[in-house]
Structure 1
């Protein structure tokens, strides 16, 4: 829009200017009549890459995967009403993972908001819907405030505890001409950053512990505190348990790394005999603690950026609020000054437990033991492994496949199936030079299969490893254990190889570990969108069927409450 040959500044321009100011390099989304001014402003500004998803659900997952793989803000743009609703489930996943995502959505024209008159794409209460699936949701109520509100939303999303923030902008506001105001955050006095104070009783407790355990969660990753956590483990001789989201907090070939095995009997016993638990940015999710039946020691120091984390699932004796990186660094300095000596016998015991639980799990895999070993041998150490909810991912992809660096392990924190493909596409967009591999099952994969052409359109060399057992394998096993019968778990699927090739992927179907390793090597070398379909019936069954998380089958058996 121009006046006297000069381009007018609009709300949409203010939104894009704030994205540029925040360092945004890419946005994901679906163009619509309710966000077109923002897309046009992006085009005119020119510096931000636009990735066109095939649905709003996939777009939100892509923004999530991008943010997790890079540590940067993920941005998703959707339409109004059903378009925003399509993104809701994926935003729940970003909320569960604590991922910094900005969701920009349109809204009906401001004069029709809340009238129920049937304006196209109208939703009864979109703001409440978005608030229910995000850290927070905002509505732009005055076009002139666009820059300030967008900046506030970005700050909220990226401030610990991080999470998705939604901002809805009525369509008539988006093209409104507004002042190009310059807004700066100004402080009268710039204080130097002060190192956190570690209470003396906390340092004393850590220094005195002879059998300490560290439980590391996603907060370690988001705070970029992997090096500090590893140093704390080495200073104290602690065993390190990781949550699913915390994989990569410490290199998984480290001899003190127990890993994502908290609910295993030997690890539960180690925890029970521990004299101190230090939890760092971890939620203690039900499926990772056998619904909180894992016992924690009485002495418990919790480090978290979220007030509500303290005493939420496990009682604590000391809570340290703040970013993990700064707190761990200060604690390490205090411990180093005291010349703390690890308990050598305990460190040896930790190594023994580490090896024992891995051996127990390996014994259940049957032919799939060669899959995990082959993957780890073929893939670079900094490869990013994205896992959808499927049997191989749950059993060995999330435990035996070693992760060596932060942000190279991504899994559905909220437990929803089918989000792996778009999440992996987002991760690959953010890390174009890395090898990104998705592990998925045939059942879940079909939920977002329409996003496959994005890989070809955006030249993303994603490798999809699709485990095909013609159904929902996890649920089959849980139903067998709970009821001795199955229902609604068998699926008729397409010819995945033919489907993948029609969408521009290189694709092969394999039926043995040896074929898998050879095809994976070829996929890594070609650097093009690739799919390997694993015929699980041809490969054969695991030595022991996977029955879901500990206690899963018992939850569904008839009982009195």
Structure 2
């Protein structure tokens, strides 16, 4: 046996070896919807102490799994049944790929004696999944543990993403060949050489107006502390992408705010980028950015890119690239004596953005910015928030301050509507001690009604805030800017508070800010699943994005 293997497996079936390997890699959750072909997989996971969560739809199952990964950085199994189960999950898999989430997808498949003859619900699973996963293959039942470890290694390699094993039902049930259960590989911490560190330190020392751009790669364990020490010691103003909010607190005096989606805010943000004479990118993944960031600076700009590994893109010039253990690398670039640097432009920039996203004063409804300010005023370090896709998300990412890393979960790579409520379920399952608040538009909520039933069924103390304006407001806004009449964007929302009560939760409908604040405080305090149906006026969005 090698140092990375345990004692010989006692697992009786192939499914048991798969589950045992997932557990060895730290997996604690599996999510999905059962079919005949995946029953052994589910049974084996639960026998290993891996909790199976019965979702209400396959896309939501993937979003639940994604959030568990985001919160724990432990791989999560997604278990869709054959045919329509996997087909339904594809948007969730594409989301996991673009959100950099390590999911192990364990699909069911028709039994081998029926393969290539039987046709009901049968198509090529591997071919369907390959474009949206990092690895997809049929399982070799003779080497189940070994191949599961391979899939997990691929899923966890930077940048993380989903990997799929397609498992015929009869192979899953067959007796397993005796095997050791592989363990995750041990990888050394890689630092800069002395010469590399000296060259990069000199570049930073010589810069008159450097700027740090923080991306989702900085969310990984150990980076936030090292990064805060780095920006403090060198007095470096910084932006963060939407997913990287809170890696260094949004309330930090050097924080310039969030970048990535609002064209109006990004026009202001890019002025800071243009004024910088050195850009330091820390895990700055362009998967989160709008096309305004294509060629956002020229090749002549001094740039230092620090990351765990290459992202292999040409969205903008990367300059000096340094890959390795990010906390170690940042430590090598952090001086023992603090740097003195002029940072007066930070306050002026924050004031300019604040004027754009300020609350307006509508009559008979709530200002979305006012609602998000109320949320922001209440955020504590023990909160987790999820936010869905649309105009409300763009505004929330500028108006709600995050004070801890990974505090606001969102789909910002693929931007999948219907993400926030299942993600909140995943976050609450992974961190039952936290206060979890989901911020959702009404269009997104209509895609997630079954997830309200799951939250109530699991007795999760989620607070779901629905911004209700009877429209797909972001698309309506884009139509207005294109001088088009509204088409296919208006609808009539149901009474979401009534639906929540019908599903066994609490529900309240509000149309003014004072009532919203009271409802939010009560919902957080009661620790019981609650939907707050907030009637908002979307008019201010036109000036904010």
TM over 0.5: yes
| In structure 1, distance between residues paired with 2:329 and 2:152 | 24
Contact 1:245–1:410 (CA<8 Å) still a contact in 2? yes
Which stretch shows the higher mean deviation, 239-248 or 192-201? Answer: 192-201
Match of 1:558 in 2: none
| Secondary structure at the counterpart of residue 290 of structure 1 | helix
**TM-fit CA distance, 1:221:** 0.3
Alignment counterpart, residue 37 of structure 1, candidates 40, 50, 66: 40
| In structure 2, distance between residues paired with 1:433 and 1:201 | 45
| In structure 2, distance between residues paired with 1:191 and 1:158 | 12
Match of 2:328 in 1: 326
| Secondary structure at the counterpart of residue 418 of structure 1 | coil
Q: 1:321 to 1:20 in 2, by over 3 A?
A: same
RMSD over aligned Cα atoms: 2.4
Alignment counterpart, residue 157 of structure 1, candidates 137, 144, 155: 155
- Map 1:231-242 to 2 at 5 A: 231-242=229-240
Contact 2:232–2:338 (CA<8 Å) still a contact in 1? no
Is 1:545 matched up with 2:521?
A: no
Q: 1:315 to 1:132 in 2, by over 3 A?
A: same
- Map 1:18-57 to 2 at 5 A: 18-45=21-48, 47-57=49-59
Match of 2:400 in 1: 401
Deviations 1:304-345 (A, max 9, x none): 2342445x211122111234223222322xx33xx46231x2
Contact 1:157–1:165 (CA<8 Å) still a contact in 2? yes
Match of 1:300 in 2: 303
Contact 1:509–1:534 (CA<8 Å) still a contact in 2? yes
**TM-fit CA distance, 1:22:** 2.0
Match of 1:438 in 2: 438
**TM-fit CA distance, 1:286:** 7.2
| In structure 2, distance between residues paired with 1:283 and 1:169 | 33
Alignment counterpart, residue 69 of structure 2, candidates 67, 70, 82: 67
Q: 1:364 to 1:25 in 2, by over 3 A?
A: same
Deviations 1:264-305 (A, max 9, x none): 333222211111001111223475462536446700111223
Match of 2:223 in 1: 225
Q: 1:365 to 1:196 in 2, by over 3 A?
A: farther
Which stretch shows the higher mean deviation, 30-39 or 442-451? Answer: 442-451
| Secondary structure at the counterpart of residue 232 of structure 1 | helix
Deviations 1:454-495 (A, max 9, x none): 112222111110111112111111112213301111123332
Alignment counterpart, residue 349 of structure 2, candidates 349, 353, 357: 353
Q: 1:329 to 1:365 in 2, by over 3 A?
A: farther
- Map 1:452-531 to 2 at 5 A: 452-531=452-531
Give the structure-2-normalised TM-score.
0.90
Match of 1:137 in 2: 136
Is 1:127 matched up with 2:123?
A: no
| In structure 2, distance between residues paired with 1:547 and 1:271 | 20
Q: 1:80 to 1:505 in 2, by over 3 A?
A: same
Can you give the 5+ residue segments of structure 1 that lack an aligned partner in the other structure?
Answer: 1-6, 549-561
Deviations 1:400-450 (A, max 9, x none): 210011121111111221122111111111111111111111112212321
| In structure 1, distance between residues paired with 2:150 and 2:393 | 38
**TM-fit CA distance, 1:111:** 4.1
Q: 1:279 to 1:309 in 2, by over 3 A?
A: farther
Q: 1:355 to 1:309 in 2, by over 3 A?
A: farther
Q: 1:409 to 1:191 in 2, by over 3 A?
A: closer
Contact 1:365–1:542 (CA<8 Å) still a contact in 2? no
Contact 1:465–1:533 (CA<8 Å) still a contact in 2? yes
Contact 2:360–2:540 (CA<8 Å) still a contact in 1? yes
| Secondary structure at the counterpart of residue 307 of structure 1 | coil
Q: 1:393 to 1:85 in 2, by over 3 A?
A: same
Contact 2:357–2:544 (CA<8 Å) still a contact in 1? no
Deviations 1:227-273 (A, max 9, x none): 11111211222111111121121101001111214653332222111
Contact 1:469–1:535 (CA<8 Å) still a contact in 2? yes
Q: 1:363 to 1:527 in 2, by over 3 A?
A: closer
Contact 2:376–2:399 (CA<8 Å) still a contact in 1? no
Q: 1:49 to 1:361 in 2, by over 3 A?
A: same
| In structure 2, distance between residues paired with 1:197 and 1:103 | 39
| Secondary structure at the counterpart of residue 88 of structure 1 | helix
Match of 1:110 in 2: 112
Give the structure-1-normalised TM-score.
0.88
Contact 1:212–1:278 (CA<8 Å) still a contact in 2? yes
Q: 1:119 to 1:429 in 2, by over 3 A?
A: same
Q: 1:257 to 1:201 in 2, by over 3 A?
A: same
The count of corresponding residues between Structure 1 and Structure 2 is 524
**TM-fit CA distance, 1:353:** 1.6
| Secondary structure at the counterpart of residue 269 of structure 1 | helix
Q: 1:285 to 1:155 in 2, by over 3 A?
A: closer
- Map 1:249-328 to 2 at 5 A: 249-261=247-259, 263-285=265-287, 287-288=289-290, 290-292=292-294, 294-295=296-297, 298-309=301-312, 312-328=314-330
Which stretch shows the higher mean deviation, 251-260 or 176-185? Answer: 176-185
| In structure 2, distance between residues paired with 1:365 and 1:20 | 53
| In structure 2, distance between residues paired with 1:351 and 1:382 | 27
Q: 1:300 to 1:104 in 2, by over 3 A?
A: same
| Secondary structure at the counterpart of residue 497 of structure 2 | helix
Contact 2:295–2:316 (CA<8 Å) still a contact in 1? no
Can you give the 5+ residue segments of structure 2 that lack an aligned partner in the other structure?
Answer: 1-9
| Secondary structure at the counterpart of residue 27 of structure 1 | strand
Deviations 1:342-391 (A, max 9, x none): 31x2x122233223322332166763443223212334233111000132
